[in-house]
Amino acid sequence: MKKIKGGEKDKFSLWLLAWPIFIELFLQILLGTVDTLMVSRISDNAVAVVGFSNQLFNALTTLFATVASGAGIVIAQKIGSGREEDARTVAIIAFKVTAAIGIFLSILLIAVPGPIATMLQLPDELLPLAKVYISIVGGGMILTAMISMLGTAIRNTGNTKGPMFTAIGMNVIHIFMNYCFIFGAFGFPQWGLTGVAISTVISRLIATVVLLFIFLGTFQRRIGIKDIPVFDRKLFKEVLVIGWPLGVNSASWVFSQLAIFSFLAVLGSTELAARTYMNTLESFCFMLGFSLAMAAQIQIAHLYGAGKTKEAYRAVYRVLAFGLPLVIVNAFILVLLGPKLLGLFTQDTDILALCAALLWLNLLLQPGKMINMALGNSLNAVGDTRYTMVISLIFMSVVATGCSYLFGVSLGWGIIAIYASMISDEYIRGVFSFFRWRGRKHLRMKEQELLHERGLSQEDQRQALEKTAMEGVATPAL
């Protein structure tokens, strides 16, 4: 195994990985809030269409997230084990595959935006706006796919600053162009929601070009045109082994949310708009915790690849120790300030009344999300992706989605019951993930592999594993 240099160790520290991700997320969320505020000046219906469409786009991104997420983990593991050429090859293959999937999705959304919106139970009064927005923004799914893959590959080499600055620039451009197209500023046409869609595509195109430039030089050996034919069946299989459960896991969450948005659409446009506004506010509650969880996944995958299983095991507890208090405090602040903030978006008294009740439920929801983010990402980092997939399929289907329909729609208890179902799902999966991590299954497998490489006898291997397990469990907190 190649020895890791001190500088490389430093760039994989939790803090150095986390703070650029946090700033990127914070500014994205802040500018996303401004975006929602600007769209609300068009109408509450426009906000509902944007919120609904984003759920659809999130669902479709799972098709290329399978490759992008799996590739990111494999890249970090390969760099941790000193195999940078393999990491480079994985990045090239994943980029080509995700781009192909993105082209397919773009063609699909340009061709049939109306039937898709109708199939997902969007209210009739929102269909005209939805057709335009879905066809334009959806037509740029190739850009979304490339941004996802390029950003993931770059972050997992330890460079979290590049994607951060790119995302900041993309969102600033998007907000500026929104202002121009919504209000007709600086001589631009006043195109309303159509202008917002065009602004989204143009800003993503610029971000794609910048990330591609960074990507080409992110490895020690620069990527060039001659690398286009590069393909390694064995490495791609490694990506898929880790990636396909991640894709199913992500799809479970996204389709669960999409189903819940459909249930809200059945309840009415008021509930749909309320959930969209709440999504914007809720993002501020867990952004730092989510940044830590993302950084932990990169760090743990790197440590796992380097064979440092004890350090990998303890890393998740550091994330929980920092993340949980922050999420709880942020959620409580939102309870206090939320009503005033919501007044910036809408004056509809029915929407405001619903959101006021949901703010208290959010105080219960966010800690459960933090637990799942930290433990789920850590399990994924060591390759235990099938387990997270299984519990996601079961509990998101039965608890989050099934109970939302049963209690929220069928029994008529509304959006409050839907939130309660989502809260229950988060905590149930969190408990299962916690006990799985405590079991150290994949960490033990890695330890066994390393001991076998050292040529130890089976008895010596058993004693070494027992000693490592005791040391790992002895000081789990920090």
Indicate the pLDDT class of residue 174, thresholds 50, 70 and 90: confident
Residue 2 has pLDDT above 60, yes or no: no
In contact, 117 and 127? CB cutoff 8 Å: yes
Residue 207: its pLDDT value, please? 92
Neighbours of 466 (CB within 10 A): 10
Return the structure tokens found at 134. 């879905």
In contact, 160 and 150? CB cutoff 8 Å: no
State which amino acid sits at residue 179: Y
Q: Is the dihedral of CA 86, 88, 94, 100 positive or negative?
A: negative
Q: What is the DSSP string of 56-84?
A: HHHHHHHHHHHHHHHHHHHHHHHHHTT-H
Neighbours of 406 (CB within 10 A): 13
Residue 386: its pLDDT value, please? 92
Per cent of the chain over pLDDT 90 is 25
| Eight-state DSSP code of residue 396 | I
Per cent of the chain over pLDDT 70 is 89
Residue 427 has pLDDT above 80, yes or no: yes
Return the structure tokens found at 97. 């595959």
Distance in angstroms (rounded) separating the CA atoms of residues 80 and 74:
10
Distance in angstroms (rounded) separating the CA atoms of residues 371 and 388:
13
Distance in angstroms (rounded) separating the CA atoms of residues 94 and 75:
10
Looking at residues 204-213, what average pLDDT do you find?
94
Distance in angstroms (rounded) separating the CA atoms of residues 1 and 459:
24
SS3 sequence of 415-440: HHHHHHHHHHHHHHHHHHHHHHHHHC
Return the structure tokens found at 199. 């602004």
Segment 369-396, tens digit of pLDDT? 999 989 999 999 898 989 999 999 999 9
Give Cα separations from 4 to 76, 79, 83, 311 (angstroms).
13, 9, 11, 15
| Eight-state DSSP code of residue 219 | S
Segment 230-250, tens digit of pLDDT? 888 899 998 988 888 888 887
Is 455 strand, coil or helix?
coil
pLDDT, averaged across the chain? 83
Instruction: Please indicate whether residue 393 or residue 279 has the higher confidence score (pLDDT).
Output: 393
Indicate the pLDDT class of residue 93, thresholds 50, 70 and 90: very high
Looking at residues 174-179, what average pLDDT do you find?
87
Please tell me which of 14-23, 109-118, 257-266, 410-419 the model is most confident about, judged by mean pLDDT.
Answer: 410-419
Looking at residues 423-432, what average pLDDT do you find?
94
Segment 322-360, tens digit of pLDDT? 888 888 888 888 888 888 888 877 788 888 888 888 899
Return the structure tokens found at 233. 């069946």
Residue 422: its pLDDT value, please? 92
Neighbours of 244 (CB within 10 A): 17
Instruction: Please indicate whether residue 291 or residue 62 has the higher confidence score (pLDDT).
Output: 291
Host H or E run for residue 160:
none
Task: Please list, in sequence order, all residues whose beta carbon lies within 8 angstroms of the beta carbon of residue 90, skipping any fewer than 6 positions away.
Answer: 71, 74, 75, 78, 232, 235, 236, 238, 239
Instruction: Please indicate whether residue 6 or residue 72 has the higher confidence score (pLDDT).
Output: 72
In contact, 76 and 301? CB cutoff 8 Å: yes
Give Cα separations from 459 to 271, 335, 443, 448, 465 (angstroms).
62, 57, 19, 12, 10
